[in-house]
Structure 1
């Protein structure tokens, strides 16, 4: 029983770690499957629409049943915010991301996503959701980490460098690759793709900021997620009809295109929302953010093995800067949370000292001091103890 209890106790403590590691494998698989489907002719506008249709069908029943008693009334201001949320992430972010990934590589795209916490931090400062005091080391760490992360993204954008062949593939390359890079595109295409990825991160950060404000007015996570996915499907379909006049782009068969839509919808827009919500309640958002570099490493390994992607020195250097900057920001945030929790406990710690229910009164008994405990009434404010001699 003792060993069994220790095993289950250890498993319970390891559940958040196992959940986040599994989720990073899920995201890495999405990057690979999505790029394969795009290379096989899948339209990125259609992929974004189908992904959120699948996510809506998955989440809506759970939201309807589990939140039927706590779901707030949907007012016009909240509905307008949901429309904006449905455009920022399902339409703007994902389409820019798919275009950028197709112009670069799955490995590069997953590495660029590590700049997301830094962009979110800058936006949070602008909307006064974050505070910075340069006199405190934790606040200074957030600023320095953000600068290092942005610098890493600039290195990845402006410097490609020689190819680093970890797998010794002997000339194998990406399906779109030529002799000088991961695609037969020019350096201009590579820079354009990187800018698309950075713009998608800005859209995703804006989504997080607006979502934090919306949840205060509409505190029903599952219902909000289902409505966002629904509005993203509708708005994405409208954008697709404007951008793509050929109706054949909507056709998908039993191939990688269907797999990409179902996989990304179920794993990355359905299960991911639930897992992140559970872990956030237990460990907080800083814990989740710290696992982002793991996804980049997994994607790089899968990309080199499955897609025979070429990895450039500039991508490695930039990724190292991004990871270092990210962990500096995470360290600063964790220290800041510890300081805030300590400050919040200070008033509670002082209450027993100002309102003593028991006091010691020493009386003489034959030359000896006898210590008695006398119950004193609790009085709000200052307690005045009167001793009689």
Structure 2
């Protein structure tokens, strides 16, 4: 029973991160429906973070009202940048790239997050590039395979696979369909910059979150602070950019569902889960699951939104799963090595401490007696052997 419980505890971060990607995939579907309904992407982001503030502060008051650590200026400072890079700036840059260039480009650039996070983690000393170790080789190779699979899934189509949809094409139920505008060269260049900026922003947030989880280990409270900072930033930006006040009305059902779900689940529960996983396994572990979202989005688009499924999507999905397995296997090997080295170090320190204590408590007469006893034992052993 203990072994089964240990296996469950070891698999908990993996299962939670899979659920995170399922939640993010649902957000992409809801984003499409909300934009199709004519809602501004900046206002969607603002409302999403407003709902997240209400939800996360409620959890913090319920579970961490008496146990959360002291709030310092350093924690507030980190919360500000955590909300900036992980929520308000990231969402606006990502959706701006999707609007100015294409959804294909925005999705492809987003899958560079593991590589950027790996580079930043090495630069900050959170990860070690040990290519001589088997685990290190698996992490590097798995990251490359995962990114390659995501690029193949995005850019290569191949033969179309006929999939029977379980529901109607939701995007084309309304007569009014809002399409992304065709960008000129100037707008397209800006969209490219925004796309790479969103990638760097999310990777930088994972690094900041790993620092903040150690500085302020209360996950509910830290997520609430991050959501509050991000909501203020996103709302201020939306008020500055959007001049049409009718955009702020949540008249349709799809708008209410979109902002409520993305706020409570994606910016509330999911961020809490990510913060816990970053603390337990590090930012690199979290970032390698991002390409998995492409597989889930491809399936969701095919089954729910009437999008076509191609052979390239299947091959890319298989490569993504293989890459994830290699990274997780390499990370597991490194964790085993660390766990094996820690007990030996503790034992050596314990033995050294006992020797020091014995040497300081034994007087000269006792030490002479012990030396004579050891000498007699040696002579007896030699006599028996001979």
> Which residue is equivalent to 1:83?
80
Q: Is the 8 A contact 2:143 2:288 kept in 1?
A: no
Relative distance call for 1:130 and 1:280 in structure 2 (3 A) is closer
1-structure distance, mates of 2:162, 2:190: 26
Does residue 330 (structure 1) correspond to residue 328 (structure 2)? The answer is yes
Q: 5+ unaligned residues in a row in structure 2: which ranges?
A: 174-178, 362-369, 380-386
SS of 2:303's equivalent in the other structure is helix
For residue 75 of structure 1, report the CA deviation from its aligned partner.
Answer: 3.3
Cα distance between partner residues in 2 of 1:296 and 1:245: 34
Which residue of structure 1 aligns with residue 337 of structure 2? Answer: 339
Query: Does residue 142 in structure 1 map to residue 139 in structure 2?
Result: yes
Further displaced range: 74-83 or 183-192: 183-192
Contact (CA 8 Å) 2:108, 2:151: kept in 1 or not? no
What's 1:166 paired with? 162
Task: Kindly indicate whether the alpha-carbon contact (under 8 Å) linking 2:121 and 2:283 is maintained by their aligned counterparts in 1.
Answer: no
Q: Could you say if the C-alpha distance between residues 284 and 348 of structure 1 is closer, same or farther in structure 2, counting changes exceeding 3 Å?
A: same
In the TM superposition, what whole-angstrom CA distance separates every residue of 1:145-180 from its partner, at most 9, and x where no partner exists?
Answer: 3333444455567x44456243278xx89759xxxx
- Separation in 2, partners of 1:88, 1:318: 29
Relative to structure 1, the CA distance from residue 221 to residue 184 in structure 2 (aligned partners, 3 Å threshold; closer, same or farther) is closer
Secondary structure of residue in 1 paired with 2:243: coil
CA-based RMSD: 4.4
Between stretches 59-68 and 185-194, larger displacement belongs to 185-194
Matched with 1:269 is: 267
In the TM superposition, what are the counterparts of 1:44-63 in structure 2 within 5 Å?
44-63=41-60
Contact 1:115 1:149 in 2 (8 A): no
Deviations 1:280-319 (A, max 9, x none): 7788878766765654433322211221123456555555
1:43-74, Cα deviation, whole Å (9 max, x unpaired): 11111111111111011122134333443443
Higher helix share: 2
Moved more, 107-116 or 141-150: 107-116
Match of 2:305 among 298, 303, 307: 307
Aligned-partner Cα distance in 1 for 2:21–2:315 = 22
Separation of aligned partners in 1, 2:146 and 2:280: 27
The verdict on how the C-alpha distance between 1:380 and 1:118 changes in structure 2, with shifts beyond 3 A counting, is farther
Query: TM-score w.r.t. structure 2 length?
Result: 0.73
Change (3 A) 1:152 1:310: same
Deviations 1:16-40 (A, max 9, x none): 4765555444333222112111121
Alignment-derived partner of residue 28 in structure 2: 31
Contact preservation (8 Å) 1:149, 1:322: yes
Taking structure 1 as the reference length, the TM-score comes to: 0.73
1:331 deviates by 2.2
> 2:213 touches 2:275 (CA, 8 Å); kept in 1?
no
Contact 1:118/1:149 (CA < 8 Å) preserved in 2? no
Match of 2:364 in 1: none
Q: Which residue of 2 aligns with 1:245?
A: 243
Q: Which runs of 5 or more residues in structure 1 are unaligned? A: 177-181, 358-376
- Whether the 8 Å contact between 2:114 and 2:288 is mirrored in structure 1 is no
Contact 2:301–2:307 (8 Å) recurs in 1:
yes
Match of 1:126 in 2: 123
Aligned to 1:386: 374
- Please identify which structure carries the higher strand content: 1
1:108–1:315 contact (8 Å) kept in structure 2? no
Aligned counterpart in structure 1 of residue 224 of structure 2, from 223, 226, 232: 226
